[in-house]
Amino acid sequence: MTVSAQISVYPLRQEHLGPAVESVRSALEEHRLTPHVGPMSTTVTGESGIMFAALADAFTKAASSGELVMTITISNACLVAS
């Protein structure tokens, strides 16, 4: 099944936001997904099994540089262009 995800990352007590956002983008690309990084969130579309594995990897990588909150909205109805 194809799904889309909207991902927002909020690094806590970190001086810069960029490294966490970059970690998420990189992890998604390592799973052969094409993320679209926007000013407030990242969107991505792909097969559900790949998506969930990529999101777990993205959280782990982003959290390796410090505490953070990641919010994810996943839909099989609201698909974004890939």
47: phi then psi, degrees, rounded to nearest 5: -65, 140
pLDDT digits (tens, 9 = 90+) for 63-75: 998 999 999 999 9
Residues 1 and 27: their CA atoms lie apart, in Å, by 21
Domains of the chain by range and CATH?
A: 2-75 (3.30.70.930)
Alpha helices in the chain (DSSP H): 18-30, 48-63
Tell me what the pLDDT averaged over the chain comes to. 93
Residues 52 and 35: their CA atoms lie apart, in Å, by 14
pTM, two decimals, is 0.89
pLDDT digits (tens, 9 = 90+) for 3-27: 999 999 999 998 888 899 999 999 9
- DSSP 8-state secondary structure symbol assigned to residue 76: S
| Percent of the chain whose pLDDT exceeds 90 | 84
